[in-house]
Amino acid sequence: MSISTNSPLNLPPDPTVQRRQRRLAAMLIGIGLLCVVAGAALRGGRLALDWLSERLDRDGAPAIGTGAPPVDLTIAVSPAMKPAFDQLVLTFNDRATGGTLPIRTLELSPDRMVEESLQAAPTFQALAPDSSLWFHELEQRWAEAVGEADEASVIPIANRRTGTPVRFAVSPIVVVAWESVARDLGWPFEPLGWQEIQRKATRDPAFKWNHPSTNHASGLLATLAEFYAGAGLTRGLTEAAATAPSTLEYVRAVEATVRFYGEGEAVILERLRSEGRAFLDAFVAQEQVVIAWNQSRPTERLVAIYPAEGTLWADHPLALLELDTISEAQRRTYQDFVAFLTGEEAQRTLLAAGYRPADLAVPLDETGSPFAASPSADQDAVDSRQPQTTLQMPSQQVVQVVRNVWWYTKRPTNVFLVVDTSGSMDDGAKMERTKEALLAFLENIRGDRDQVGLVEFGTEVKRVEPLRPLTDQGREQFRGVIRGLQPRGNTALLDAVWEAHQQIVSTGDPEAINAIVVMTDGLENASDRTTMDLQRAFGNSEAQRIVVFTIGFGSDADVRLLQQIAVLGGGQFRRADETDIEELYRVISTYF
């Protein structure tokens, strides 16, 4: 309805009404603007969430190659180096300027770095293993993958998987021993080497020493040093020298005294903190481990024994992966970080952590350095004047030969897999993931002198597969057994461990690493045997030591009981879920 201006209703405007109308209009306009902005924000937020959800990888890092701008530079770092590396990354990130991306680190063992670097879209853009050996392996495998592997040729720079590595720290490989043990061997007055360790372990059955598997730099570099010593060389180790009968006999004699193999320095330090002298008397590691341990003010020091025959060095390189999806911002951040990492401040930080700086201008003996001489220099736990003999790194072909031959010189293994196939394992994908993990374990045990057996249990011990060598035929037979596992029944865990123990004892093989790997997802509820029975059994088999690893699969496993069983065998308890049980079995396989 229209109103005429001449209508009697056409009254003069009321000032109060006008003010109210203006306030109401302003409120309506404000509400409208808020709705528009909120709608846009919601749409933008939803788009951002969609973008993130589509691009997040399994570690929470934005995936590579999606066209989205990178949010960081991710560097894979070896476990031993990660604490010191993280400290440097934190300092770098705190000082980041415009155009520099934040750096984050991802802890990975070097062999896993290599595996993932060969994938189309790794979860990291740069890697820092503990030795250049891993870059040599990576480039060789990359060349084979792209069809350019040729022993007589050099991989073209344009086709390499990584850029030129930058060395930022070094640490020699040593035999680490408790100070009292080292003095008993003759330290610091007598030159000590592999033969002295072998003699001690042979004469004293209680002496326990190990070196990591060749999946870790300290283990592989120590193994190369043993082959050098066996060949009587310090340079130019060849395939012929490495495989000579006298060399193999020497290495086999040393390896026969290893208590067990295992993981790298980070795990060794963790177990030293929890178990102390009960864990090991001596072990192979980087020199830095000695400094790190002694800086924690322990009741007894560790000391570094520099092998008299010579040793090799962990050289801690860093390199950028050559991926098409690496952005300019990531390259620039990497270059800035390299400049920082090789600068004096970072080099001194690494020195304080026990590494020898790559920058030779940083003195090792300055005040405050962990290498600074004490009043009696021959009493120092580490010695910057050592090693007296540095071995020459062999060619990649010789390194691979040594890794292959090591399986025939290392101490053999008798290991029983004790597998829970009770009814609770029928929950979700538990059984299938367990089968995958067991198959992965078999693939990682490669020596045909090693033997594997299996005890399957539910309400009772369902099946016992006796120890058999992992020849091609034996491996295939075990694959069939594993694929046929079916869940049913209750959980007779103690009876199954007892059976595995009896099976190993019956072999009467003290020369092997005798081990039991136990996995269960539930509570013991059906055994005739007790923990006291197991305790007596393990105590009676002291002459034939049996190491036990226990795995609690899922949240319902009896952690306390599994820890008790692991202690009986001087082993470890680990917890696993469906996402990591395969990786855990792979890690445990390195002990054998």
The verdict on 476 and 516 lying in the same domain is yes
> b/e map of 305-328 (b: 16 or more CB within 10 Å)?
bbbbbbbbbbbbbbbbbebebbbe
The count of other CB atoms within 10 Å of the CB of residue 421 is: 23
| Averaged pLDDT, 572-582 | 92
- Are 164 and 182 found together in one domain? no
Q: Which among 248, 237, 251 has a CA at the least distance from the CA of 394?
A: 237
> Is residue 37 in some structural domain?
no
334, 271: one domain? no
| CB-count burial class (<10 Å; 0-12, 13-18, 19+) for 362 | middle
Q: How much is the average pLDDT of 318-335?
A: 96
CB atoms within 10 A of CB 468: 15
One domain, residues 424 and 556: yes
Give the pLDDT mean for 93-101. Answer: 89
At 196 the pLDDT is: 96
Element (H, E) at 462: strand 461-469
pLDDT above 50: residue 3: no
pLDDT in the model for residue 158: 57
Domain assignment present for 42: no
CATH assignment of the domain containing 457: 3.40.50.410
Task: Mark 127-152 as b/e (b = at least 16 C-beta within 10 Å).
Answer: bbbbbbbbbbbbbbbbbeeeeeeeee
- Is residue 62 one of the residues assigned to a domain? no
Q: Are residues 270 and 397 in the same domain?
A: yes
pLDDT band at 440 (very low <50, low <70, confident <90, very high): very high
Residue 563 confidence (pLDDT) above 80 = yes
pTM summary value: 0.84
Angle, to 10 degrees, between the axis of helix 396-409 and the axis of helix 245-255? 60
Are residue 516 and residue 577 in the same domain, yes or no?
yes
Domain match, 389 and 431 both: no
- Does any domain span residue 211? yes
Question: Does residue 575 share a domain with residue 483?
Answer: yes
DSSP secondary structure code for residue 52 in this structure: H
Q: What is the mean pLDDT of residues 474-499?
A: 96
For 49-74, b/e burial (b = at least 16 CB within 10 A) is: eeeeeebeeeeebbebeeeeebebbb
208 within some domain: yes
Q: What is the pLDDT of residue 96?
A: 87
Task: Indicate whether 400 and 500 sit together in one domain.
Answer: no
Domain that holds residue 129: 73-168+316-357
φ and ψ of 332, to 5 deg: -65, -40
| 315-330 mean pLDDT | 96
pLDDT tens digits for range 378-415: 568 999 999 999 999 999 999 999 999 999 999 999 99
Tell me what pLDDT residue 10 has: 32
Q: Does 21 fall in a domain?
A: no
Q: What is the CATH number of the domain that holds 127?
A: 3.40.190.10
Answer for the pair 280, 200: CB distance below 8 angstroms, yes or no. Answer: no
Domain contains 275? yes
Helices (H), 411-569: 430-444, 472-483, 493-507, 531-540, 559-568
Distance between CA 523 and CA 542 in Å, rounded? Answer: 28
Burial of 264 (C-beta count, 10 Å sphere; 0-12/13-18/19+): buried
> Does 23 or 49 have the greater pLDDT score?
23
What are 178's strand-pairing partners? Answer: 302
Among residues 493, 550, 497, 479, the alpha carbon closest in space to that of 523 is found at: 493
> Can you spell out the DSSP letters for 120-172?
SS-S-SEEE-SSTHHHHHHHHHHHHHTT---TTSPPPGGG-SB---EE-EEEE
Q: How many domains does the chain have?
A: 3
Q: Same structural domain for residues 78 and 100? A: yes
pLDDT, tens digit, for every residue of 488-499? 999 999 999 999
Last residue of a domain, one of 378, 406, 434: 406
Query: Same domain for 191 and 148?
Result: no
Q: Cβ distance 414 to 466 under 8 Å?
A: no
Is residue 275 domain-shared with residue 320, that is, in the same domain?
A: no
Report the alpha-carbon distance of residue 221 to residue 227 in Å, rounded.
Answer: 10
Residue 50 forms part of a structural domain: no
Q: Is it the case that residue 237 has pLDDT exceeding 90?
A: yes
125-159 pLDDT per residue, tens: 999 999 999 999 999 999 999 876 555 444 455 58
What six digits make up the tokens of 20? Answer: 């109210």
